[in-house]
Structure 1
Amino acid sequence: MPAEDAFEDFYQSTRHRTVTVLYALGGDLHEAQDAAQEAYARAWQRWDRIGGYDDPEAWVRTVGHRLLMNRWRKIRNGFAAYRRHGPADPTAAPSEDGVALVTALRRLPADQRTAIVLHHLLDLPVADVARQTGAPANTVKARLARGRRALAELLGTTLPEEVSNA
């Protein structure tokens, strides 16, 4: 039987029991489901070895339980840190301009948005944007030009002359 089929059979026959056990151990169904999902993903990555165990379900349960315990430790440590340090300083509400910019960026095509953010917010040169996106430099320049024009229109502004000619 191919490894995918063997794992699928294993998963189908054990998933309900595993989630039930993790739910009983942790007391939170959503956390149990998340931990089980992660444990099965890890089992799949090592299925050539784990599939040969006498009880692969025990391995998944153990990993799932450890994941649950790690999550509880993080929560407990977070509460302890909160008690020691108190609440975080309040953060200022986002500015209207910032909200408008993010809203406009969301309306751009993904390739233009990526080019704009990398170039203008991270101050990366066009060559670095090209390298990170896997696009030729001229394509990045075109995306930047189209994106800036679209942003200006969405924000109801005009581009400075040196930017509109770039």
Structure 2
Amino acid sequence: MARAPRPAEADFAEYIRARRDHLVRAAYLLTGDLHQAEDLVQTVLVRVWPRWPKIKEMENVDAYVHRTLISLFSTSVRRRRWREVSADPQQDGTWTTPTAPDQTMAVEARADLRTALGSLAPRQRAVLVLRYYLDLPEAEAADILACSVGTVKSQAAKAVKRLRERQTNNALTDERGTT
């Protein structure tokens, strides 16, 4: 006989149902890899669960969860720098499924965005995800990243500048017909 879920379990399960996809998409923008994103979100949820009775009473539960997501992402990036990572040429983000031309363009655009985000420093990537994907105000992003609002502004500006430069360079390369 299954027992009835406790109120905290039910609240947590409801939160996961409502926010999991959103968290996975944010994590994917940070990591650039769906499997890593799902692992990251799972780790976040495991970390949040023991504290859930207190967390659910907070004014902004999402801010706490986002802070945990960014913190765990930053930790994983630091750890990855110290390990040797082998590159698998088959995991270059290319798509082999045949698609219609408009779908192909959409897939290419997403792949370009993933590559461009991957070229940014982890902190800049985190700022862009918080500000433009999660649509958080600068003050909340600064709180999550444990930095000043000015740092969020400058990191966002640098990241956007780098993405624009990359886009310009890619356009020039395409015009010349070189790769």
| TM superposition score category, shorter chain reference | 0.3 to 0.5
- TM-score under structure 1 length normalisation: 0.44
Larger-gyration structure (1/2): 1
- Structure with bigger RCO (C-alpha 8 Å, 6+ apart): 2
- TM-score under structure 2 length normalisation: 0.41
